[in-house]
Amino acid sequence: MPTFVQILDFIGTFAFAISGIRLASAKRFDWFGAYVVGFVTAIGGGTLRDLLLDVTPGWMTDPIYLICTGLALLWVILFGKYLIHLNNTFFIFDTIGLALFTVVGVGKSLALGFPFWVAIIMGSMTGAAGGVLRDVFINEIPLIFRKEIYAMACVVGGLAYWLCALVGLDDVVCQVVCGVVVFLTRILAVKYQICLPVLSGNEH
């Protein structure tokens, strides 16, 4: 039987894959292209992290991520036209995915002996870099650089993890706090439309 974390991981992967597949479908990609974009959205952040940490990417050791992306593609093919009514549901799933992926990224980096400031970057990358790769593939300016609190929520969650560890709290407590902080930061930022300031542009 899958553990609680595995179920959350599955939900996160599914939500991230859906987000990639939907944006690919808006660009009229074929099924294969949509599958690849969905897969990269789901596993891209973790893969970049694992390349930097010099370990084998998780998806190369367990086909669950491939299967999960396949189910997401099937879902969009079958229920695509109803998805528009589920935007709020997917927003919640996507934010759960963001929170969980951040926790996994921070935890994995610490377990490999990296300092906390590296772990926070790796956690944020795990959560947010897949979406950056997705946007590069569909030839758009990455969304997370322009809009909303997104990767910033991962950084805040990572800092919360650090604080808890400094105080001497148990690993599991640190991870739960980190995930909850990421989740709440994003939810509250969107609800109250909290944005980071924009740099006033002047051409290079």
Tell which residue, 38, 37, 36, has the closest CA to residue 17: 38
Of these, 8, 17, 21, 181, which contacts its own copies (CB under 8 A)?
21
Long-range contacts of 50-59 (CB under 8 A, 24+ apart): 52/122, 52/125, 53/108, 53/109, 53/112, 53/114, 53/122, 55/108, 55/112
When binding is defined by CB under 8 A, the residue of 103, 106, 152, 174 that contacts its own copies is: 152
- Buried/exposed code over 155-183 (b: 16+ C-beta within 10 A; e: otherwise): bbbbebbbebbeeeeeeeebbebbbebbb
Cβ proximity to its own copies: between 1 and 202 the closer is: 202
Q: Does 24 bind its own copies (CB under 8 A)?
A: yes
Shorter beta-carbon distance to its own copies: residue 3 or 139: 139
In the three-class reduction of DSSP (H, G, I as helix; E, B as strand; rest coil), residue 140 is classed as coil
**Judged by CB under 8 A, does residue 76 bind its own copies?**
yes
Considering only residues 45 to 64 of the shown chain, the ones binding its own copies according to CB under 8 A are 47, 51-52, 54, 56-57, 60, 63
Contacts with its own copies by CB under 8 A lie at 19, 21-34, 36-37, 47, 51-52, 54, 56-57, 60, 63, 66, 76-77, 80-81, 83-84, 114, 117-118, 132, 136-142, 144-147, 151-152, 195-204
